[in-house]
Chains A and B, each alone.
Chain A
Amino acid sequence: VCFDFAKDRYGICPMVQSQQKLDRALVRVQDLTPEKAEQQIWVRARIHTSRAKGKQCFLVLRHQQFTVQALLAVGERASKQMVKFAANLTKESIIDVEAVVKKVEQKIESCSQQDVELHVERIFVISQSEARLPLQLEDAVRPEGEGDEEGRATVNQDTRLDNRVIDLRTTTSQAIFRLQSGVCQLFRDTLINKGFVEIQTPKIISAASEGGANVFTVSYFKTSAYLAQSPQLYKQMCICADFDKVFCVGPVFRAEDSNTHRHLTEFVGLDIEMAFNYHYHEVIDSITDTMVQIFKGLRDRFQTEIQTVNKQYPSEPFKFLEPTLRLEYKEAVAMLKAAGVEMGDEEDLSTPNEKLLGRLVKEKYDTDFYVLDKYPLAVRPFYTMPDPNNPKYSNSYDMFMRGEEILSGAQRIHDAQLLTERAMHHSIDLEKIKAYIDSFRYGAPPHAGGGIGLERVTMLYLGLHNVRQTSMFPRDPKRLTP
């Protein structure tokens, strides 16, 4: 057995139990750039790949969206045993590496850090991974087309979701959820700047708010309760309580047995409600401006994330107009008819028609986001305010991204009498909504609002095709775990 002159420079660390406070700066992979050339630094990252080649070992180290090449060669600093140790490390293990940053002549196309590589001096394992991984991360980031063509695997959605912790480590997932965090932050910041107050509404409620059978029931001591389908009723009660402009971010539960690309049984709702002075368009303007600020913020500050996602899922960049384009329902029907669709003037838009309309709007105005105003009254919920001039229509609107609906909103009826009439017209049990109707009996301001789903907005902004990709731990009729 050869004497290992490098034995102090590698190994498996004992489990970090906070034994010591090391005064050591760890540089992030993201920050490994030519500016740091010739510096000796420490990096903590995962082993993305490790490959031995004769007396050398090539590693790719990964942290979140970023990867860098590292090289360990037998020589003065590294023994054969050290190189062998590095080559045998399991993928996904977390390691601490001390290395010198070196500029490279030719760009390293396969890594995010293309202009440098690390020449390893010391390498220690902080947390070892089991050898057999339920899925290979390389496969998980492979674009769909490539997998089929070259016989290399991609990973199907169910496998990903069953092993979500590993799937979330991919560069693509990291980028998606960082961007989603941005959506939430921009939503909050924009509304706070507009003078909105953030509220929290109860999720365990006594009556199904939207009517219909799509509610989850929970046992509540000796009786039953429901999980809220939306914060609708409570948003409105806040307006009647003089909060003027409110928003809330929280879970929404829909017991819809739909197995589609865009439905979840639990999702994050971003809801807005606002009192207005004279016309509900004041509210539409506020909502569309909020959406535009979100789009601008994503466009200007999250380009890295957008590019990372596009590597695996190429798509057209998201386009929009400021101010937002607003069309009327009648116009939409005329446009669809001109394109050959047969439909009634007061018929609701089917999903294929919504998609077609989105394409027609895109062709003419080159925008992926627009508002459709003045829906027929018959297809809207009972609390929707009818149009003042034409009883067949209503003061309600939908908003679309890439041809798919993301928001349904309206001016709400704030008169207890009219509300009662409309509820009866929809055959709703008045007893069940007594508390709701009561809120409007003691002076209620005219108000309107709407809500979006965080996962769906993220999915459509990035041009992805399944809402499960943008839900960290998605819930649908067939999935309750992880």
Chain B
Amino acid sequence: MPMYKSPNVHGHGMNCGEHALQNGEVDPSLKALEERQDEVLRRLYELKATVDGFAKTVTTPDADLDASTPSPGPAESVFKGTADLDSLLGKDLGALRDIVINANPARPPLSLLVLHALLCQRYQVLSSVHVHSSVSAVPPPLLSCLGPRHIDSYARQRFQLGFTLIWKDVSELQMKFSTQSMCPIEGEANVARFLFRLLGAEPQDPAAATQMDCWIDKAVFQLSEGGSKDRAAVLRSLNAALGRSPWLLGQEFSLADIVCACFVLRAGQTTSAPVNVQRWLKSCQNLGHFDCVYPFLQ
């Protein structure tokens, strides 16, 4: 039995004011000051949220747009940020800055097709598709997956960027850019991250960027390479996240949506996917950038 009662400084859920009152030691005016301070802070947060909301409607027009119903006409690019190609890819020295992607025709990289479509809206891109001699034949849809050949394709230097897709017998998808100064990048997700950077739309907030990476890793390791239990778990996570916001990172469409949607579509059986996932897939489709992907789904 304690000799005397001492104030409980570790009390949970009890504010200092109550203790002070119990102990009869606190000035009521201090309490009032604190309450006013809390009120001001609360109103500041509300104001900030409202301003943030307005800001988004200016920078990403479709953020609060309900994309669950089809929009009329072709979609504009969702990404309006700017990227400095010279610093990302090296100065233009007269050679076409040609990004070469070697992919296995048995596993077409759907997310890269979506990113290609987005890049074409932003830049003058010279797109070409080749079949490597290590592959004997490739179904026609894979030859036209980057769209019709650009009329000006014989004048290579008029383009800001080259996108050369080579169907090849490779075990892992591979991207080559500047063989003198860059190692090849391997894996669809990593190449997707590289291409996304060219759109200037990487989330600046480290928390959001990390979350984006988490979703991408989930898609690669669990949806694509995992078993049916893993896939079911990912679909549940997606469903939960998409119950809270239209896109995976919240109000903004991002690479996480592109990669996860492509991997979900490729895994198939989308009609039995959870309801939020289905709504989200429809929204992706309505944006228009996923049109290139549908010919490759069974």
User: Which A residues contact B (CB, under 8 angstroms)?
Assistant: 279, 281, 295-296, 299-300, 318-323, 325-328, 330-335, 337-339, 360, 363-367, 373
A328-B157, A365-B166 given; A321·B130 CB < 8 A = yes
Interface flags, B168-199, vs A, CB<8A=1, else 0: 10000000101110000000000000000000
- Contacts A334-B95, A364-B176 aside, 12 further interface pairs with beta carbons under 8 A come to A321-B166, A326-B156, A328-B96, A331-B96, A332-B95, A334-B94, A337-B93, A360-B179, A364-B100, A366-B132, A366-B166, A366-B168
Choose among A321, A337, A338, A339 the residue that contacts B132 (Cβ–Cβ < 8 A). Answer: A321
Is A325 in contact with B130, judged by CB distance below 8 angstroms?
Answer: yes
Can you identify 20 A-B contacts, CB atoms within 8 angstroms? Answer: A319-B133, A319-B134, A320-B132, A322-B131, A323-B130, A331-B95, A331-B96, A331-B156, A333-B94, A337-B93, A338-B93, A364-B98, A364-B100, A364-B176, A364-B179, A365-B164, A366-B102, A366-B132, A366-B166, A366-B168
A18 to chain B, nearest CB (A): 48
A359 — nearest CB in chain B belongs to which residue? B179
Is B130 in contact with A327, judged by CB distance below 8 angstroms?
Answer: no
A328-B156, A331-B157, A366-B168 given; A319·B94 CB < 8 A = no
Is B132 in contact with A319, judged by CB distance below 8 angstroms?
Answer: yes
A331-B96, A366-B166 given; A338·B157 CB < 8 A = no
Complex Cα gap A270–B85 (Å): 45
Complex Cα gap A338–B131 (Å): 27
Interface flags, B100-135, vs A, CB<8A=1, else 0: 101000000000000000000000000010111110
Task: List, in ascending order, chain B residues with CB within 8 A of A325's CB.
Answer: 130
Choose among B98, B130, B154, B157 the residue that contacts A279 (Cβ–Cβ < 8 A). Answer: B154
Q: Which 10 pairs between the two chains have the least Cβ-Cβ distance?
A: A334-B95, A321-B130, A331-B95, A334-B94, A363-B179, A334-B93, A322-B131, A320-B133, A330-B94, A364-B179
Task: List, in ascending order, chain A residues with CB within 8 A of B131's CB.
Answer: 321-322
Q: How many A-B residue pairs have CB under 8 A?
A: 64
Choose among B102, B132, B157, B178 the residue that contacts A330 (Cβ–Cβ < 8 A). Answer: B157
Complex Cα gap A339–B176 (Å): 16
Query: How many B residues touch A, CB cutoff 8 Å?
Result: 24
Complex Cα gap A325–B179 (Å): 17
Complex Cα gap A322–B168 (Å): 11
Complex Cα gap A135–B180 (Å): 47
Is A281 in contact with B96, judged by CB distance below 8 angstroms?
Answer: no
Complex Cα gap A331–B159 (Å): 12
Task: List, in ascending order, chain A residues with CB within 8 A of B180's CB.
Answer: 338-339
A402 to chain B, nearest CB (A): 13
Task: List, in ascending order, chain B residues with CB within 8 A of A366's CB.
Answer: 102, 132, 166, 168
Interface flags, B126-147, vs A, CB<8A=1, else 0: 0010111110100000000000
**Residue from A295, A328, A332, A360 whose CB has the most chain B CB atoms within 10 Å:** A328
Complex Cα gap A281–B155 (Å): 11
Interface positions of B from 200 to 231, Cβ below 8 Å from A: none
Task: List, in ascending order, chain B residues with CB within 8 A of A299's CB.
Answer: 133
Is A331 in contact with B164, judged by CB distance below 8 angstroms?
Answer: no
Task: List, in ascending order, chain A residues with CB within 8 A of B178's CB.
Answer: 338
Complex Cα gap A138–B102 (Å): 43
B170 — nearest CB in chain A belongs to which residue? A366
Choose among B133, B136, B157, B168 the residue that contacts A295 (Cβ–Cβ < 8 A). Answer: B133
Complex Cα gap A339–B164 (Å): 21
**Residue from B94, B128, B166 whose CB has the most chain A CB atoms within 10 Å:** B94
B267 to chain A, nearest CB (A): 30
A324 — nearest CB in chain B belongs to which residue? B130
A362 to chain B, nearest CB (A): 10
Is A365 in contact with B93, judged by CB distance below 8 angstroms?
Answer: no
Is A318 in contact with B133, judged by CB distance below 8 angstroms?
Answer: yes
Task: List, in ascending order, chain A residues with CB within 8 A of B176's CB.
Answer: 363-364
Complex Cα gap A444–B282 (Å): 58
A330-B94, A334-B94, A360-B179 given; A365·B156 CB < 8 A = no
Task: List, in ascending order, chain A residues with CB within 8 A of B133's CB.
Answer: 295-296, 299, 318-322
Task: List, in ascending order, chain B residues with CB within 8 A of A335's CB.
Answer: 95
B90 — nearest CB in chain A belongs to which residue? A338
Task: List, in ascending order, chain A residues with CB within 8 A of B96's CB.
Answer: 328, 331
Complex Cα gap A389–B146 (Å): 29
Task: List, in ascending order, chain B residues with CB within 8 A of A326's CB.
Answer: 156
Complex Cα gap A321–B131 (Å): 5
Complex Cα gap A449–B130 (Å): 24
B127 to chain A, nearest CB (A): 13
Complex Cα gap A450–B136 (Å): 28
Is B156 in contact with A327, judged by CB distance below 8 angstroms?
Answer: yes
Task: List, in ascending order, chain A residues with CB within 8 A of B154's CB.
Answer: 279, 281, 373
A277 to chain B, nearest CB (A): 14
Task: List, in ascending order, chain B residues with CB within 8 A of A332's CB.
Answer: 95
Complex Cα gap A334–B180 (Å): 13
Is B94 in contact with A331, judged by CB distance below 8 angstroms?
Answer: yes
B168 — nearest CB in chain A belongs to which residue? A366
B98 — nearest CB in chain A belongs to which residue? A364
B285 to chain A, nearest CB (A): 32
Complex Cα gap A367–B168 (Å): 11
B154 — nearest CB in chain A belongs to which residue? A281
B181 — nearest CB in chain A belongs to which residue? A338
Task: List, in ascending order, chain A residues with CB within 8 A of B95's CB.
Answer: 330-332, 334-335, 338
B131 — nearest CB in chain A belongs to which residue? A322
B241 to chain A, nearest CB (A): 39
A319 — nearest CB in chain B belongs to which residue? B133
Complex Cα gap A364–B175 (Å): 9
Task: List, in ascending order, chain B residues with CB within 8 A of A331's CB.
Answer: 94-96, 156-157
A98 to chain B, nearest CB (A): 43
Complex Cα gap A325–B176 (Å): 15
B92 — nearest CB in chain A belongs to which residue? A334
B135 — nearest CB in chain A belongs to which residue? A322
A299 — nearest CB in chain B belongs to which residue? B133
**Residue from B132, B133, B154, B164 whose CB has the most chain A CB atoms within 10 Å:** B133
Task: List, in ascending order, chain A residues with CB within 8 A of B157's CB.
Answer: 328, 330-331
A280 — nearest CB in chain B belongs to which residue? B154
A332 — nearest CB in chain B belongs to which residue? B95
Task: List, in ascending order, chain A residues with CB within 8 A of B98's CB.
Answer: 364
Task: List, in ascending order, chain A residues with CB within 8 A of B128's CB.
Answer: 323
Complex Cα gap A375–B164 (Å): 23
Task: List, in ascending order, chain B residues with CB within 8 A of A365's CB.
Answer: 100, 164, 166
Interface positions of B from 30 to 76, Cβ below 8 Å from A: none
B159 to chain A, nearest CB (A): 11
B166 — nearest CB in chain A belongs to which residue? A321
Task: List, in ascending order, chain A residues with CB within 8 A of B130's CB.
Answer: 321-323, 325
B132 — nearest CB in chain A belongs to which residue? A321
Complex Cα gap A321–B101 (Å): 13
Complex Cα gap A299–B95 (Å): 32
